Amino acid sequence: MRITDVEAIVLRQPAVDERIADGSQDDLVIRISTDEGITGIGEVDSAPEAVRAIVHAPGSHAIAGSLRELLLGEDPTQVERLWDKLYRGLIYVGRRGIALHALSGIDIALWDIKGKAEGKPVSELLGGRRRDRVRAYASMLMPETEEEVTERVRALRAQGFTAVKLGWGPLGRDPDRDVELARAAKAAMDGGEVLIDAGLGYVADAKTAIRVARELERIGIFWLEEPFEPDEYEAYAELADAVDIRVAAGEQDTTRWGFRELLDRGHVDLVQPDVTRCGGITELLRIAELARERGAETVPHAWKSGIIKAASLHVNAVLPDALFQEYCVADTPIATKLTRERLPIDAEGYVAVPTGPGLGVELDEEVLARYRVD
């Protein structure tokens, strides 16, 4: 089998609200075709047009290659070898950031092809699943008022979620207000877990974050996520060393080398590699192994469509220490309709790992065409 085409497809809903941190309003879908008629799909949670340029741009010289050109004619089932080839081809362009975002989407699509070629779900190719379902946490933006928090969290609890994460929105403006919003969420969750994503709100202010974290501990919040900007390792270490609540971070980071920095310098308790950014399925597994070696937990970040849900579920199926599946509940067409499979939660708040070949999800071609940006 050989690769015949690589497409980077930009999607965008008609009206994007740029004031909110909702990445499900646009998308970048990778589609890889082969000479045997098997097609693989991947996804990238990044700046869609910039990723498309990285994928389709012609190569410049020996160490500044075009991702598409590097893949044409290759055997798509040799996923790990192609990861190394593409990473080397990106060294001149950029070993982190958006270049790795593009590589991530390609890696997911290659695993999808390999699974379809072998008639197996991706989780079986990764060594065999340890679990058939994963506990889901509903992931949503933090509302502005305690009343809205209570209403939204109660609704999610009624839908069957046993855990919920609230993030960004007003968090970081007023530390005392942040605590009150978290308190309202915990009360409304009625015995379930509440996770708080500060959305980089404390920038590098470890003292404020420590004060907030200690209050969140008293309330019973499960973790405090991304209180600081990604490279503020000293602030992360000061916070993590001072409090008992889990300090989580990493959705902005890429590669095992980037996460080594976060773990060794930042002392975080839990890492959150995003399969569409960190380097794909291949690299996420390496990151999780690194985290385990350092005594940290791994919960993949997953905010976009059914593609990232499925890819993250396959990873969670094989991780020894899987805790949660992030479950985006944004009511956007990309989040809810891009894949034909909806991947619902069950009565106990879990979501099943797909069992079909590859990722186990397929694009809804009508939705793809409707939101495609040519």
Report the pLDDT averaged over residues 255-262: 98
Amino acid, single-letter form, for residue 124: E
Instruction: Report the percentage of the chain scoring pLDDT > 90.
Output: 93
Q: Residue 322: what pLDDT?
A: 94
Q: What pLDDT digit, counting tens, does each position of 112-144 carry? A: 999 999 999 999 999 999 999 999 999 999 999
Mean of pLDDT values over 242-268:
98
Mean pLDDT, range 159-163, rounded to an integer: 98
Q: How confident is the model at residue 254 (pLDDT cuts 50, 70, 90)?
A: very high
Cα gap 246→268, rounded to integer Å: 8
H or E segment to which residue 334 belongs: helix 333-337
**Predicted local confidence at residue 19, as pLDDT:** 86
Tokens describing residue 69? 């050109």
Question: Looking at 34-43, 63-72, 178-187, 274-283, which range is the least confident one?
Answer: 63-72
CA 41 to chain centroid: 16
- Residues facing residue 84 across a β-bridge: none
What's the angle, vertex CA 144, arms to CA 169 and CA 223, rounded to 5? Answer: 55
What are the tens digits of pLDDT across the range 83-102?
A: 999 999 998 888 899 999 99
pLDDT digits (tens, 9 = 90+) for 219-233: 999 999 999 999 999
Q: Residue 63 pLDDT more than 80?
A: no
Catalytic residue among 56, 61, 101, 301: 301
Supply the DSSP string of 159-219, one letter for each residue: TT-SEEEEESTTTTS-HHHHHHHHHHHHHHHTTSEEEEE-TTTTTT-HHHHHHHHHHHHHH
Closest-CA residue to 21 (of 226, 325, 175, 189): 226
Residue 310, pLDDT > 80, answer yes
Backbone φ, ψ for residue 293 (5° rounding): -60, -30
Share of the chain above pLDDT 70, in %: 100
Report pLDDT for 64: 79
Q: How many residues does the chain have?
A: 374
Q: Which of 177, 226, 219 is nearest to 197 (CA)?
A: 226
Least confident of 62-66, 315-319, 329-333, 335-339: 62-66
Helix crossing, 97-118 with 306-318: angle to 10°? 70
Report the pLDDT value the prediction gives residue 55, as an integer from 0 to 100.
97
* Helix-then-strand count for the chain, H and E: 14, 13
3-state DSSP assignment of residue 274? strand
Q: Is the dihedral of CA 10, 11, 14, 15 positive or negative?
A: negative
Q: Is-catalytic flag, 301?
A: yes
> How far apart are the C-alpha atoms of 42 and 276, rounded to whole Å?
8
Domains within the chain, CATH numbers bracketed = 3-120 (3.30.390.10), 125-365 (3.20.20.120)
Burial class (CB in 10 A: 0-12, 13-18, 19+), 217: middle
Distance set, CA 309 to CA 92, 155, 286, 329 (Å): 31, 21, 19, 11
- Per-residue pLDDT tens for 328-361? 999 999 999 999 999 999 999 999 999 999 999 9
Question: pLDDT tens digits for 192-229?
Answer: 999 999 999 999 999 999 999 999 999 999 999 999 99
Could you give the angle at the alpha carbon of 132 between the alpha carbons of 223 and 359, nearest 5°? 95
Q: What is the pLDDT of residues 262-289, one digit of tens each?
A: 999 999 999 999 999 999 999 999 999 9
* pLDDT score for 61: 82
User: 223-245 as b/e, with b when 16 or more CB fall inside 10 Å?
Assistant: bbbbbbebebbebbbbbbeebeb
